Structure 1
Amino acid sequence: MRLPREDGTLHDHHPRADPVRHHPGPPPRSRAVLAAAHVVADPNRTAAGTPAALDWDATLAFRRHLWSHGLGVAEAMDTAQRGMGLDWPTAAELIGRSAAEARAVGGRIVCGAGTDQLTAPARDLAEVVAAYEEQLAVVEDSGAQPVLMASRALAALARGPEDYAQVYGHLLRQSARPAVLHWLGPMFDPALTGYWGSADLGAATETFLDLVAAHPGKVDGVKVSFLDAGHEVALRRRLPDGVRCYTGDDFHYPELIDGDDHGSSHALLGVFDPLAPLAAEGVRRLDTGDHEGFRALLDPTVELARHLFRDPTRYYKTGVVLLAWLAGHQSHFTMVGGLQSARSLPHLARAYQLADGLGLFPDPGLARSRMASLLSVFGVSQ
């Protein structure tokens, strides 16, 4: 195949001929592993600036694919385009439908609760709390475990750490199940700059840890997405006993999940959407103490992950959905809000090349044919 480079030139890629077989299996035992799942748009009803229209059959089928490989599903998170096209009414329906599917197959599911139904700036903290409570009720009524997502509305309104402590403290006290706290870095969402009341990462971390310590038994774990392994390890070592650290670091996940003499991270990762079969097989190797085998499987995937999550990081979803289409999990490359246009053709071509090299496509011939059709739309003939 002739694939475009960023400099405008073309180069030859020789696609893999035979697939690499990854078989379904039970959930890993040594780590909790969740994939933040993307949504499949309905290509016949999708338009920028309109409420999200999903292909429900394909969206739910992808979640069954994740569960079949033993991974848990992190639903209605940023990978599902929360705050980037997926409106709250559709997210609420997604939570209900996915939680029902999880019960049917016995799969683990956690779901994001935030404040994105607020389409205008919040007037006060009470309005932020009410929005969180509305979404938390939907998650809890579905039977899923809640993930308290970072709130743009709270970030815009809060005057300091005490406002975060007030809002999150109220939510944790009333949550029926221990929640996961989600700290999303500004590289994923610039509107969250200065979260926890300070632009200084050290000061914000102290506020975050104080909140966790102040609510024993109410926090299942924390998910940190900063693409900063050193920060995550330091935070992980200071968490109270029984509180998990779920890595959200799509750059350093092999070393963080593998761990060190002081512990290891669990996982809640968007990159495990396309990497699900490899990720599950790798962590099952950790179950047997085979750290070298785990790294042998996961280390080679980091180049693809770093490519998908390159700056501007928030557009990583485009590459994730491309790979789902190429792998045959959906029939088209259309995203909610037209986000398939957020990355350049050379970026998408490189994602295909790296994924093909890893053996991520169950049918390499189908992936090649679909990639060739995309290239032809842009005038790159084969």
Structure 2
Amino acid sequence: MTVRLPSPDGTTRAYTPRTEPLALTATGPLTSRTVFSAAHVVADPYADTTPDSPAAVDWDATLAFRRHLWSHGLGVAEAMDTAQRGMGLDWAGAAELIRRSSAEAKAVGGRIACGVGTDQLTGPATPAEIRAAYEEQLTVVEESGAQAVLMASRALAAAAHGPEDYLDLYGHLLRQAGEPVILHWLGPMFDPALDGYWGSSDLDAATETFLDLIAAHPDKVDGIKVSLLDARREVELRRRLPEGVRCYTGDDFHYPELIAGDEQGFSHALLGIFDPLGPLAAEAVRTLDTGDADGFRKTLDPTVALSRHLFQPPTRFYKTGVVFLAWLAGHQDHFAMVGGLQSARSLPHLARAYELADGLGLFPDPARAESRMRSLLTVYGVPQ
């Protein structure tokens, strides 16, 4: 039986869904790469909220999804942009998420790293206020027992006058950190307010500042997460890191080649696309663990079309597609998002996401995914 899917030109096309999911049999930990999935949050669909009110989170479903990721050997990158930090989830909600997820990680033996930012600041801030905001969040993460990810700050981007302001603030935070942290460089395609981060819109100049910071504190930097969607730049940066400092790719366009690596090294991973791809990504890395790089690429390369679709401009709205696929896959009972962000992508965009994900065999129950897709199409008035 076919499904009529809408196309961007206003027509519909027939699509025949697959009847069986992809068979995934490998189990056990991942050994050759450290892999984090940046995980989404599940909204409470019954909460009487508005886009401007604090997020209402379905904690049971949110934590269940994290257990799903841990069960496949993936780490969870918590309270980062995939969890809608600054796009529906405020600091109070993020702090609760960090505490709950960290406790769950301890209970099941899962690896977790949590985002540290300054999103409790709602307007222009002084350097002292930005430092205090970072310190508050770093304390919450470290007290929860999780690894810290120092995220880029909109407030710092707005207040900094040059590279020295970044070096001063980040140097202070690294000296304070109890354990090595992950530094996160998030490009403006993910958040336009971060343009010019590290003191310059010239990426070559910004890279030098970033490397200067790491070179001054190599014992306090576990690794860097690079989200610039520029594979060449990531490889060049990776090759210049001090010994022992890892590169976690955040490139949702080129992740197979960056994780596979070359004769001079490879990237680990901290990726939003590994939210919907979790089990398949884990399967691919286990293949790489055996030394079979070709098999790894054969498994993961076909997923890039879906990732590029979900992360197409405006890239920051990729979360909508991620949550949509979680609903189709049965990880939650509804397609609602904090901040009402389920409306951020068009029906043709979602239809193509369904088609690509189904073609990859990502849905554990293809019939359920088809039924849910049909229900959405009916709401939109698409004849079947």
Classify the TM-score, shorter chain.
over 0.9
**Residue of structure 2 in register with 1:314 after alignment:** 316
Is the CA contact 1:21–1:362 (under 8 Å) kept in the aligned structure 2? no
**Residue of structure 1 in register with 2:215 after alignment:** 213
Identity across matched positions, percent: 76
**Residue of structure 2 in register with 1:203 after alignment:** 205
- What residue ranges of structure 1 are gaps of 5+ in the alignment? none
Give the alignment of 1:1-382 within 5 angstroms.
Answer: 1-23=3-25, 25-45=27-47, 46-122=49-125, 124-382=126-384
Decide whether aligned partners of structure 1 residues 27 and 60 sit closer, same or farther in structure 2, where only a CA change above 3 A counts.
same
Secondary structure at the aligned position of 1:332 is classed as coil
* RMSD of Structure 2 on Structure 1 (CA): 0.7
Counterpart amino acid of residue 66 in structure 2? R
Distance in structure 1 (CA, Å) of the matches to 2:291 and 2:30: 12
- What residue ranges of structure 2 are gaps of 5+ in the alignment? none
Counterpart amino acid of residue 115 in structure 1? T
* TM-score with structure 2 setting the length: 0.98
Is the CA contact 1:43–1:334 (under 8 Å) kept in the aligned structure 2? yes
Give, in angstroms, the shift of residue 24 of structure 1: 6.5
Counterpart amino acid of residue 80 in structure 2? M
Give, in angstroms, the shift of residue 57 of structure 1: 0.3
Distance in structure 2 (CA, Å) of the matches to 1:128 and 1:367: 44
Secondary structure at the aligned position of 2:193 is classed as helix
Is the CA contact 2:6–2:347 (under 8 Å) kept in the aligned structure 1? yes
Secondary structure at the aligned position of 1:245 is classed as strand
Task: Give the 4+ runs in structure 1 shifted more than 4 A.
Answer: none
Distance in structure 2 (CA, Å) of the matches to 1:81 and 1:381: 33
Distance in structure 2 (CA, Å) of the matches to 1:23 and 1:176: 39
Distance in structure 1 (CA, Å) of the matches to 2:254 and 2:281: 13
Secondary structure at the aligned position of 1:280 is classed as helix
Counterpart amino acid of residue 94 in structure 1? L
Distance in structure 2 (CA, Å) of the matches to 1:265 and 1:272: 15
Is the CA contact 1:24–1:68 (under 8 Å) kept in the aligned structure 2? no
Distance in structure 2 (CA, Å) of the matches to 1:48 and 1:222: 32
Query: What number of residue pairs does the alignment pair up?
Result: 381
Give, in angstroms, the shift of residue 36 of structure 1: 0.0
Deviations 1:143-170 (A, max 9, x none): 0000000000000000000000010000
Distance in structure 2 (CA, Å) of the matches to 1:49 and 1:168: 31
Counterpart amino acid of residue 92 in structure 1? A
Secondary structure at the aligned position of 1:217 is classed as helix
Distance in structure 1 (CA, Å) of the matches to 2:248 and 2:218: 18
Give, in angstroms, the shift of residue 329 of structure 1: 0.1
Higher mean C-alpha deviation, range 43-52 or range 181-190 = 43-52
Counterpart amino acid of residue 140 in structure 1? E
Is the CA contact 1:24–1:277 (under 8 Å) kept in the aligned structure 2? no
Give, in angstroms, the shift of residue 278 of structure 1: 0.6
Secondary structure at the aligned position of 2:219 is classed as coil
Counterpart amino acid of residue 124 in structure 2? P
